[in-house]
């Protein structure tokens, strides 16, 4: 079981993704934006899943800040966006899911990463 920090500003999407991840056996901590995600970041987070475009603080900014915290440098990150990732955002991510994606694609990406096969999720 992974402890996943999920940052997604759209409540319906956040609830759907949380439900899928919980059904797959994971613990999910939900954040509605990057600033909240940073406040909820705890040392035993296994994985970060984040939307890129959110109010107050977007995915790239908050994940880059999180990566600078002790122990967070190697935590896997799945980024989600309707737009292609910039090279700097891509360097922060373990996998990328291009929106819209089938929700089960997230579960598959999480399973691959936890199994040690980061690869490229979502064909990006």
Domains of the chain with bracketed CATH = 3-123 (3.40.50.2300)
* Residues 98-117: b if buried by 16+ CB within 10 A, e if exposed: beebeeebbbbbbebbeeee
Put simply, whether the predicted model's pTM sits higher than 0.85 gets the answer: yes
In this prediction, residue 118 carries a pLDDT of: 59
Q: Using alpha carbons, list the distances in angstroms from residue 68 to 47, 81, 111.
A: 15, 22, 25
pLDDT tens, residue by residue, 32-83:
999 999 999 999 999 999 999 999 899 999 999 999 999 899 999 999 999 9
């Amino acid at each position: 079981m992974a402890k996943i920090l999920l940052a997604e500003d759209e409540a319906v999407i956040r609830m759907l993704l949380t439900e899928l991840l919980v059904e797959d056996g994971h613990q999910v901590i939900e954040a509605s934006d990057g600033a909240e995600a940073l406040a909820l970041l705890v040392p035993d987070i296994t994985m970060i899943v984040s939307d890129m475009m959110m109010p107050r603080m977007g995915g790239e900014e908050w994940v880059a800040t999180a990566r600078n915290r002790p122990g967070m440098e190697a935590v896997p990150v799945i980024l989600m966006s309707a737009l292609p990732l910039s090279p700097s955002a891509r360097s922060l991510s373990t996998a990328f899911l291009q929106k819209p994606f089938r929700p089960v694609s997230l579960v598959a990406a999480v399973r691959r990463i936890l199994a040690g096969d980061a690869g490229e999720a979502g064909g990006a």
